[in-house]
Amino acid sequence: MMDFSCTAVRRNLHRAIRFVEASLRFPGTVLILLGVMCPVNADDATDSDDADPAAAIACDILLVDGLIIDGSGAPGYVGDVAIQGDRIVAVGEFEAAGTPETIDCEGLVIAPGFIDLHSHSDDYIDQPQTRANINFVTQGCTTIVTGNCGFGPVAVGAYYDRVDSASAGSNVAHLLPHGSLREEVMGTDDREPTAEELAEMLRLSQVAMDEGAWGMSTGLIYVPGTYSQTDELVAVAEVVGRSRGIYVSHMRDEGLELLASVEELLEIGRRANVPVHASHFKSSGRDAWGLVREAARMIEQARAEGQVATADQYPYIASSTSLEAVLIPTWARAGGDDALLTRFDDAEIGARLREEIAQEVADHDDGAQVRIARFPARQEWVGKNLLEIAGGNDMTVVELVEYIVRNEGAAVVNFGMNEDDVRAIMQFDWVATASDGRATLPGADRPHPRFYGTFPRKIGYYAQREGVLPVEQAIRSATSLPAEIIGFEDRGTLAVGQFADVVVFDPELFIDEATYDDPHRYASGLRYVWVNGVVTIHNGHPTGALAGKSLRHVRDVREE
C-alpha cells in the first residue's frame, strides 16, 4: 500500500528528483531509472511516521540517498544501504534504528566491492610493504583471487594462514597453480610425468582442494606448464571438479593458434566435468587481430550447448609479462635459467635459438612493440622499447634480448592488441573484468597501468564516458559475475546478508589516472570503501585498515 504520510511524501519527492539527476549522470538510462517505482525494501520496514519502531533496522553505518547499482546488472535506483558488523542488513527504503554513522551519498554511486579474478599478488599480499593492496583498494577492489597463470603457493592452507596472521587490505581467495604443482613434483623438464609423479600431483591437488582452493589455474605458455599435455590437465582438473572447483587457464596461445587453444580449454571442461574460464581473453599480435571475436563465438556456442565457460579481460591494448615469455621459445626455457644460458653458449643450439628470437622480434614490430617495465641491471632502460634501446647502444635487438636474459631478465609491456577487439569482448555478459596485476607501491619501475586503473577504466572510461556498455553491466562484470564464476555466494551484490564489501564513488570523477608513461598514479573519484564492514577508504583517503581475510572454499564433493 502506498504511504501518503508527510514524511514519506517529502522523501519520495526528494528521491524522484534524485532519479532524474542520476539519469542525467548515466546517459541512455533515463527512461529505465524514471520507470523504477518500487525500490527494494528491507523486510517489512517503511518510511511512515507511524512505522513500528521494532521494524526499524539496527545498523552501524547508514549510506543514504545514493544511486544503488547492486551488481546484478539491474537498473540503478536511489536508496539507502545499512551495514551492521561485517554484513549488509538493509538495501533500498527502510527505517534505521538508533544513531548509526550516516553518510550522505547524494549524487554518488553505491555498489558492491569489486572482485579481481586475476591477481598475481601471491608473494606480495602477506608482505608488510604491500599487504594493504592500496593500488587496488583505491580502485574499489575488495577481493582478489591469487594463484593465477599456474604460479603461486601449492600449500594452500599454509598460504591462507599467512594471510590471516597479518591480515590484508582485501580479501584473498586462491587457486591451485598447476605450473608450481608440476615443478614441485617433477621440476621444469620438458616431458610427461611418470605414473608415480602424476599420482603425487593428484594427491597434492586433493589436499589443496580440501584446504580451501577454489579451483586450479594453468599457465600454458610458461615453463613448466607449457610442457603439459591435455591428458595431464584433464586428470588434475577431474580432482578439482569433484570438489566443485573451476579450471582457469592462461591458454597455450593467444595469437594465431588462439582458436585451437580455446578448443583445448573447452575439451578439458567437457572431459573433466568442470567449469572452464579463459584468463585475460584476447588475441595478441597484428596478424591475429579479430580472432578473439571468433573465439568468443566458440565459447558462446559451447555455452548454448550447456557447457559452463567464461572469461575475464583487462581493458587495455597492451599485455605484460616477462621478456622471456614473449621472445624466447618454450623449448629453450626447459630446465630453467641455467639451462637456457647453456643453450646460448652452445654453437649449434645457440645459432638456432638466436634465429628463432629474431623471428619473434620481427613479429613484434622489430622490438618497437615491447617496452621494458622493470630491469634492475640497467634502470635507465625502463620505459623504453627494445628497438630504441638497441639503437642507442650499438646492438641488434637479438643481442639486447640475450644481454637482458644473461642479466636476470626483465618485465616488459607488450603492445600487441587491437582497440576494437578490446571493446567488442567487454560487451559479452560472460566476460568479467580482471587486472592481471599485483599489489605494489610507487617506485622506479614502470609497470602496466592496470596495476592502478583496471576497474575505474572499465567503469569510468569505457562505460561512463565512452558508452561502450551500460554502467550497470560494467559494474556487474566486476562484482556478481566474478562472484558467480569463482563460486562466492555471500559477496558480489548489495543484498541483505551479503558481506559488507561496499564501494561509493562519484560517477563523474571515477576514472583511471595511470598511463603507460606514468603508471604509478592512483585512480580518482572513489569516496568510500568498506571491506567486511570496516572502512578502508574514507572520504577519498585510505585509512590503513587491514580488514581483508582469506576466503576458503568449503569442499562440496560431487557424487560420482
Cα–Cα distance, 201 to 221 (Å, whole number): 20
pLDDT in tens, 274-306: 999 999 999 999 999 999 999 999 999 999 999
- The alpha carbon torsion through 521, 526, 531, 535 (nearest 10 deg) reads 110
pLDDT band at 13 (very low <50, low <70, confident <90, very high): low
Identity (one letter) of the amino acid at 270? Answer: R
pLDDT value, residue 37: 35
CA 8 to chain CA centroid, nearest Å: 42
Strand partners, 146: 174
CB-based contacts of 365: which residues, under 8 Å, 6+ apart?
387
| Total length of the chain | 560
Q: Which residues of 429-459 are buried (b: 16+ CB within 10 A; e: fewer)?
A: ebbbbbbbbbbbeeeebbbbbbbbbbbbbbb
pLDDT digits (tens, 9 = 90+) for 131-172: 999 999 999 999 999 999 999 999 999 999 999 999 999 999
Average pLDDT over residues 69-87: 98
Given this model, what pLDDT does residue 448 score?
Answer: 97
CB 321 within 8 A of CB 289: no
Grid cell for residue 244: 566443485
pLDDT tens for each residue of 349-395: 999 999 999 999 999 999 999 999 999 999 999 999 999 999 999 99
- Closest Cα partner for 472 from 141, 28, 22, 76? 76
Average pLDDT over residues 502-526: 98
Return the DSSP state at 506: -
**3-state class (DSSP) for residue 511:** strand
Q: What are phi and psi of 326, to 5 degrees?
A: -85, -40
- Cell digits for 392? 642507442
Cα radius of gyration (the chain): 25
pLDDT for 189-212, tens place per residue?
Answer: 999 999 999 999 999 999 999 999
3-state DSSP assignment of residue 515? coil
d(CA 250, CA 379): 30
Collect all residues with Cβ–Cβ distance below 8 Å to 527 and sequence separation of at least 6: 108, 504, 505, 506, 537, 539, 540
Helix ranges (DSSP H) in 328-449: 337-345, 347-363, 386-392, 397-406, 419-425
pLDDT in tens, 222-247: 999 999 999 999 999 999 999 999 99
Asked whether the beta carbons of 400 and 364 are under 8 A apart, the reply is no
Task: Tell me what pLDDT residue 55 has.
Answer: 82
CA distance 480 to 475: 8
Asked if residue 45 has pLDDT above 60, the reply is: no
Angle between helices 397-406 and 337-345 (to 10 degrees): 140
Q: Show Cβ contacts of residue 157 under 8 Å, excluding neighbours closer than 6 positions.
A: 211, 212
Listed in sequence order, the residues at least 6 apart from 25 whose beta carbon sits closer than 8 Å to its beta carbon are: 67, 107, 507, 508
| pTM greater than 0.95 | no
Instruction: Indicate the SS3 state at residue 292.
Output: helix
